[in-house]
Chain A
Amino acid sequence: MIFGIPLQAFLGQLLVGLINGSFYALLSLGLAVIFGLLRVINFAHGAQYMLGAFVAFLALKFLGVPYWGALVVAPLVVGAVGALIERTLLSRLYDLDHLYGMLFTFGLALAIEGSFRWYFGASGQPYATPKALTGVFNLGFMVLPIYRAWVIVASLVVCLAVWALIEKTRLGATLRAATENPSLVQSFGINVPMLLTLTYALGAGLAALAGVLAAPIYQVSPLMGSNIIIVVFAVVVVGGMGSIMGAIVTGYLLGIAEGLTKVFYPEASNIVIFVIMAIVLILRPAGLFGKEG
């Protein structure tokens, strides 16, 4: 018993919080990567997450591509579509106010989600948990579904890999420099427009990967992205725009905070993240990890 709450319930909600946090972290990481370099708030991120799940669902249904294949194929497909959209449409808006980029991606999200809803209907389609990941670990004090453990591990590994790519490699140094002063970096002979395209593709691909991971847990539905993305934007506001580690850590922390609120004060669990957001905005407007000014 912890504070009069059965340990079982406590750990169960902690786990639910960690699972949600895994998705928040992956999605806010992608948003932070895109915002850092492109200065665009990617409102299409939820739609790209949904597209990832749908690519997995359709690839299985029509081509027999299994879950493991989908983990690779869906990010590649959605990343490629993202690259195409950035190259042909989004890149035309960079010289205008950043608001236009935001409006464009918002419109894109509405168009994608609207067409999927029209074609597939609003209800969810089940996506079977891959065989190798069915079953549970019995930890003695609780049972942990293997698939959920996998999601937490996969999300952690991917988040840390992306962090290392950006903070520890030569390509990452180029990305960080281009974030500070893109035209100077381009004057060194680096193809910055190409870098922007690849970065958008990376962000979209991360969203799609999260979508595939989510498919067996939440089902595949056209509105799955718009449900989660509002929370993810709150996560990004709390963490501070543009900080990679900040996006990751805040994602997990807020997921856990949400889970624990379900134990201690269930009525508030749907709004706790937004309450935290409001408090952070009052005390530290740049976010927990953002740079002031």
Chain B
Amino acid sequence: MSALLNVSDLNAWYGESHILHGVNMHVTEGETVCILGRNGMGKTTTLRSIMGLVRKRTGAITFAGQDVMAMPLHRTARAGLGFVPEERGIFASLSVDENLMLPPVVAPGGMTLDEIFQLFPNLLERRNSPGTKLSGGEQQMLAMARILRTGARCLLLDEPTEGLAPVIIDAIGAVLRELKSRGMTVVLVEQNFRFASKVADRFYVMDHGVMTHEFPVGELDARMGMLQETLGV
């Protein structure tokens, strides 16, 4: 079966600094794939390069059979990729509602507002407050919710649990399991290894701009030694 998202020999640069050195990865439809790796190894850069936010890149990226590399930035979302950035990217000059409605619907099959408020009840209460008056957890939920509305087929999720309290992390885990049951494809970047082991089907380990290991969740215990060494957990 051919993959929904295929990345091969991806190199990427910020100005003169060469960050990604030939990333290879694939994601099958409906799968939740997690990229592990220490700080500064290139996980965020990988997601930003797939999305087209990093423009200086070589290699091949295809999504649903389309060549994503050739698209201008505003076409990637229309192809079905949705990006939830590490810093969440909630707009201060927009209300919660305006933040939620900002990304245009790109395909049918996205969540309705009712479904979104069922999944994220906090957002309903705070619809009219300014985006940045939300707590960190609520901002993360808003950043995910606004993409789920659009009908994106694949979610690029960058460290959703970073800096959040355990109850909120559990809530986000529940959301990810709900998404999986709906058939959503997810590429998750995580440092929280325990969290990732509960939601991911397959793992990549990233080190200095390349994927060094790949294994399914079933092999997690057998890989503990290697993970402790490369991640320093």
Contacts and interface: CB of A to CB of B under 8 A. Distances in A.
A191 interface: yes
Interface in B72-124: 73-78, 83, 85, 89, 91-94, 98-99, 101-104, 106
Interface string A171-210: 0011011011101111111111000000000000000000
A131 interface: no
Contacts of A190: 74, 103-104
A196 to B, nearest CB: 12
Contacts of A188: 74, 77, 102-104, 150
A180 B106 contact: no
Contacts of B52: 187
Given A187-B52, A188-B103, A176 B91 contact: yes
Contact of B91 (A177, A189, A191): A177
A190 B85 CA distance: 17
Contact of A173 (B83, B92, B102, B106): B102
B134 to A, nearest CB: 15
Contacts of A176: 91, 93-94
A208 B100 CA distance: 36
A189 B94 contact: no
A191 B72 CA distance: 9
Contact of A189 (B78, B85, B92, B93): B78
Contacts of A179: 93
Given A176-B91, A189-B77, A189-B150, A183 B102 contact: no
Contacts of B91: 176-177, 180-181
B53 interface: yes
Given A177-B91, A180-B93, A191 B74 contact: yes
Contacts of B104: 188-190
Contacts of A187: 51-53, 73-74, 76-77, 83
B103 A173 contact: no
B177 to A, nearest CB: 25
Interface in A153-174: 170, 173-174
B106 A189 contact: yes
B98 to A, nearest CB: 4
Contacts of B98: 170, 173, 177
Interface in A253-286: none
B103 A189 contact: yes
B74 A192 contact: yes
Nearest to A36: B93
Contacts of B83: 184, 187
B103 A181 contact: no
A184 B85 contact: yes
B93 A183 contact: no
- A: interface residue count bin: 10 to 19
B184 to A, nearest CB: 17
Contacts of B77: 187-189
A170 B52 CA distance: 25
A191 B106 CA distance: 13
Interface in B103-149: 103-104, 106
A185 B93 contact: no
Contacts of A180: 91-93
A179 B75 CA distance: 20
Nearest to A175: B93
Contacts of A185: 102
A192 B91 CA distance: 16
Nearest to A181: B89
B107 to A, nearest CB: 10
Nearest to A179: B93
A187 B103 CA distance: 9
Contact of B102 (A177, A191, A192): A177
A189 B73 CA distance: 7
A192 B94 CA distance: 17
Contacts of B75: 189
A189 to B, nearest CB: 3
A189 B76 CA distance: 7
6 contacts: A173-B98, A173-B102, A180-B92, A187-B52, A187-B77, A189-B77
| Shortest Cβ-Cβ A-B pairs, 10 listed | A189-B77, A188-B103, A173-B98, A176-B93, A186-B73, A177-B91, A184-B89, A186-B74, A191-B74, A189-B78
Interface of B: 51-53, 73-78, 83, 85, 89, 91-94, 98-99, 101-104, 106, 150
Given A170-B101, A189-B104, A190-B74, 8 more contacts: A177-B102, A180-B93, A186-B73, A187-B83, A188-B74, A189-B75, A189-B106, A189-B150
